[in-house]
Structure 1
Amino acid sequence: MKTPFKIYFHPNELEGTAYIEFLPGKYLGKCWNETSTFLDENTFSIFEDVFEETIESYDHYAFQELSESKFDVLLQSLGMRLDEIKEDSLFSKSGRTLSLPERELIQKEIQSNKEGAIEVLERFIVWIQELKKQNIPLSILGI
């Protein structure tokens, strides 16, 4: 059975609250913003480690901001993950420091729906690139 990977571009599409919110701009005390993009935990798991490596003191449950100086690093790392997925060579380029069980879990998720993982990651990268072009900071609002 394919794992459904999905990117959501409006809070009305969401069911429940187990989503990571990516807010264009600074966090101003409000969640579930209409300008945000959302990923469920399963979908985000296929590249959450990229955020862990890019954002110092990243926390899955906290609210944090990606500094503008980190956009290029994030986009480069997301691009490497996308290439690895397309080439069936996960972790060959990124050199992530995940444990073997963590790597195996991510690989299993991606193998269950490679096309869906590629589609979500491509759309997410384009969305991040637009923020960068417009010099809009990114806030990550954890679960």
Structure 2
Amino acid sequence: MKAKYRVLAADDELWSRENIRCMLPWEDYSIEFLEPACDGEEVLERIPKEKPDILITDINMPFLSGLELLDRVKEEYPDIITLAVSGYDDFQKVKGVFMSGGIDYLLKPVSREQLVDSLSKALKTLEEREAEKAVKEDSRLREHSCNS
């Protein structure tokens, strides 16, 4: 079965990227787990080519912080669903994630259960969007065939 959605993770720590990569059998969720990015700049370079549906980003990264990345993604790629992971329980960062459109803020070490909960939210949103598009397309086609 072909993966329906694509996830891109970004973290400057190799162990953290690998932990997320190995945490789930991604294909069981119809998800292709893309090669993780080392920082926010790499994410922005790769989005146009790889077209992820979901972005999981660390908050504290060099060059472009996770919060700056979330702001840019919200502005330039508003359809990408974002969530953040961090080793810091910092209210201002949590608030920043949600202000930037993120759906969740997970504390490291992220548990499998937390990741599944967040992904379930993201997948539900993606599926609702697809259903909405299908309804709009269907009514557009009906309108077009009635006017022909």
Shared topology, TM-score over 0.5?
no
Instruction: Tell which has more relative contact order, 1 or 2 (C-alpha 8 A, sep 6+).
Output: 1
Q: From the CA coordinates, give the structure whose radius of gyration is larger.
A: 2
Scaled by the length of structure 2, the TM-score of the pair is 0.26
Determine which structure has the larger helix proportion and give its number. 2
Scaled by the length of structure 1, the TM-score of the pair is 0.27
